[in-house]
Amino acid sequence: MTIKDIRNKPIELQVQDGYISMVRHADGSIQRLDPPVPASKENVDSLMSRANYGMLQVYVNVWNCQATLIVGDRSEDDFNLDPAQAEQLEKLKDQVIYDDNGGAINWSGWYYPSLETLKEIAKLLSLEEPTPR
């Protein structure tokens, strides 16, 4: 499946058995999604937003009723948050799971934030503000 980014350049999504497993950008870079995500309209829209902003590797991993924010190869524990920031992060993780994805803490999987939530996460963690690639 091929979609267009905000610069009208193609982004290829590799879809197999109803799941998106890879994103190939117009510049040739490839990002693999492991585990793959269902190829729903919501997930395609979410991938499109995050691909445009270079933030594909930000998600909430839910396993065994525990939610952990992942940023690339780092987990939330690597950010040394103070108690107020940790509390805000818990609220943002809930927002990603429940509001952005309609999920639940007892549904294991990877949950990707909406662009608005992604901006809030970037601000909280002092990451570079997502801007179009």
Q: What is the pLDDT of residues 106-118, one digit of tens each?
A: 999 888 888 788 8
- pLDDT at position 131 is 55
SS3 state at 53: coil
CA distance linking residue 113 with residue 93, whole number of Å: 9
**N-to-C CA span, the chain:** 20
Summary mean pLDDT of the chain:
83
- Calculate mean pLDDT across residues 125-133: 64
Q: Distances from the Cα of 72 to the Cαs of 16, 58, 59, 100, 127, in angstroms? A: 24, 6, 9, 20, 12
Of the candidate ranges 12-16, 17-21, 28-32, the one whose mean pLDDT is the lowest: 28-32
**Among the residues of the chain, which ranges form H helices?**
41-52, 83-94, 115-124
The region of weakest confidence among 18-22, 81-85, 114-118 is: 114-118
For residue 5, what pLDDT band results from cuts at 50, 70 and 90? low
Is the pTM higher than 0.95? The answer reads no
- pLDDT tens per residue across span 31-82: 788 778 888 887 777 776 666 556 667 889 999 999 999 987 789 999 889 9
Per-residue pLDDT at 56: 61
Residue 19 burial (C-beta neighbours within 10 Å; 0-12, 13-18, 19+): middle
The one-letter code for the residue type at 53 is Y
What are the residue boundaries of the structural domains of the chain, listed by start? 2-124
Res 6 pLDDT > 60: no
